[in-house]
A = this chain, B = another copy of it.
Amino acid sequence: MSTLKKPNILITNDDGIDAPGLQVLIKLLKPFGNIIVVAPDKGQSAKSHSITLMDPLRLNKVIEEDDYRAYSCSGTSVDCVKLALNEILDTKPDMLFSGINHGTNSSISIIYSGTMAAALEGSIHGINSIGLSVLDYSSNPDFSLVEKYLPLILKKIAKVNVGSGLCLNINFPKISPVEAKGLKVCRQAKSAWIEEFDKRTDPHHRDYYWLTGEFINMEPDAEDTDDWALKNNYISVVPVNTDFTAFERIEETKNILL
């Protein structure tokens, strides 16, 4: 037996098992570990931390090779993580990677994201979990910046204590590797998506609405935020967690209610 055990790496995403971003992620991580992929069998974008309670879940093994197994699942990205941990893996994986998402998950976008929900779910179970996104919504983005930085990121994450539940939201700007200034550890920018519904009428004279939106950064000049980093050619890294408590408003809330 080798004394250098390869890490067990769980991979998922929310764009579905056929998404180019997932395939690139698998290709990049394969040299470094035992790979287990559990990904949705179709796109599950913007499903946030949804779980499937009212329908049964299906799981299909699609690849079984040495050091590489892949399953598709009928549910969301969070369902994929829960099934991986409870029905597929005998022990917790050493780390989890989610993505590579086609489109930004920086600042407030994290709350809608299935990619980051999967990473957060991993961290709830103590797994060091990394969500990766590129600021490119096309079906075939340029992943060369991720290809340059991911091996470096993986090697550093592999040194973090297994089980420490570190969760990172990493976003890559849409620039070439030569333009990139490197990684920048940030906080989440204060921002919102302001909706602009596209109202239409169907052939049966009934109205319907398409949800569209415009992104508003409420603090564009804050240099310690992820959106500032991305606008200034950095790869943004935000450590995130699942504690929603607004600690800064606890005293105010006591004053209001008690």
Contacts and interface: CB of A to CB of B under 8 A. Distances in A.
Interface in A221-247: 237-247
A125 interface: yes
Interface stretch (A4-12, A18-26, A31-39, A78-86): A78-86
Interface stretch (A43-51, A62-70, A172-180): A43-51
A214 to B, nearest CB: 11
Contact of A200 (B51, B56, B124, B241): B56
A92 to B, nearest CB: 12
B240 A241 contact: no
B211 A239 contact: no
A48 B125 contact: no
A100 B58 CA distance: 32
Contacts of A85: 195
Given A59-B209, A188-B245, A50 B53 contact: no
A89 interface: no
Contacts of A48: 47-51, 117
23 contacts: A45-B53, A45-B54, A47-B47, A47-B48, A48-B48, A48-B51, A49-B49, A53-B211, A56-B209, A58-B208, A82-B211, A87-B197, A120-B244, A124-B192, A125-B192, A153-B257, A167-B246, A168-B253, A185-B257, A185-B258, A188-B243, A237-B257, A240-B244
Given A57-B211, A187-B250, 12 more contacts: A47-B47, A48-B117, A50-B50, A57-B197, A58-B209, A82-B197, A159-B256, A185-B258, A188-B243, A190-B243, A239-B246, A242-B244
